[in-house]
Structures are given as structure tokens and as C-alpha cells.
Amino acid sequence: SITLPATLSAVGDKAFYGCRTLPEIELPQGVREIGNMAFSGCAKLARITLPEGLTTIGYQAFEDTGALAAIELPSTVESIGRYAFWLSGVTEITIPAAMTAIGEGAFAVTRIQSVTFHDGEPFTAEDVKYTYERARDHTIVKNNFSWLESVDVVDDYTVVINTIGAYSPVLNALC
């Protein structure tokens, strides 16, 4: 069992990196930031309590935490770093209202089955379609999506991405 000081305001980069036997941890109320790779490789981490007031989750903070099936993001979380939950066991997530940035691949290679917005609305294929079509038509980033012809919604969880022609790096472009 690990007890962290109540005065702690940040969990530093790689603070518990590779701590493969850590089963659970409760972060004190004063913690505002979880650093890069802070819990990366904590394979047995099954439960973590995140405090209200937490605003930042760093790059790969919970990478390779396969035992971590559930995590509740406080309403104050504003940003999640790149690959923050990569290879985690998280199966569902609710995006807080304060969220302004979710890094590339933040939830890549996870077991996520359910994403919900802070207002209770589910994230669906219509949201995916909207996001890609908005990016394709946006003045600043549209050149990055010149390969995209259209997005068809098959059902709530499935989209078909149609390209203008053959485009071999399409899988990289989708991530």
C-alpha cells in the first residue's frame, strides 16, 4: 500500500513507471497534474482514484495498464496527452465538460466499448462522420484530408471511409 502526502500537487513524469505490482492508488485532493508515463507499465494497477481538481493527464500516463478496466475522469480534466491510455484495459470513458484537448492516440489499442460526453450523450458514428467531414472542409487542415471523399454511417458504431482514389497511408491518416 502506498500513501501519498496530502500536499502533493503533481505526480511527476515516470513516478511509478514499471511498478508492475502496484494494485491500486488514491491520489490526494491537491493533485492537479499526472506527468508523462507516470503509471506506464503498472500492469496490475486495477484501481486509481483521481481527485476533483485534476486538470492534466500526461503523455502515456496509463500506457500498458491492462488491469485498469475502469477510470472515472473528474469534471475538471482539461487535457489528456498522446497515447495516455494506450494498451490500457479501460472499457468505458466519459468526456468531462472541461475537456479542451485529447492527444493523438489517447485511447488507441484499448478495450473501450463506450464513450459518453459529459451531458450523457453517447459518442456515435455520426460524431465520427461530423469530425472527419469538418476537418476535410476546414480551411486550415483540409489539405491533410484531401484523400477523403466521404464518410458513410452504417450504424451507431460503424463508419465506412471512402477515399478519392488509392491512398496507401490511409491507416496512418485515420489515427
Span 101-148, pLDDT tens digits:
999 888 887 778 888 888 888 888 888 888 888 888 887 877 778 888
| pTM: predicted TM-score of the whole model, two decimal places | 0.77
In order, the DSSP letters of 79-120 are: EE-TTTTTT----EEEE-TT--EE-TTTTTTS---EEEETTS
Residue 157 to residue 125: CA distance in whole angstroms = 5
Do residues 109 and 88 lie in contact, with contact meaning Cβ atoms separated by under 8 Å? Answer: no
Span 26-82, pLDDT tens digits:
999 999 999 999 999 999 999 999 999 999 999 999 999 999 998 999 999 999 999
Do residues 70 and 94 lie in contact, with contact meaning Cβ atoms separated by under 8 Å? Answer: no
What does R_g of the chain's alpha carbons equal in angstroms?
18
Alpha-helical regions (H) of the chain: 125-137, 170-174
Chain-centroid distance of CA 139 in Å reads 26
Do residues 129 and 153 lie in contact, with contact meaning Cβ atoms separated by under 8 Å? Answer: yes
The residue behind cell 472527419 is 132
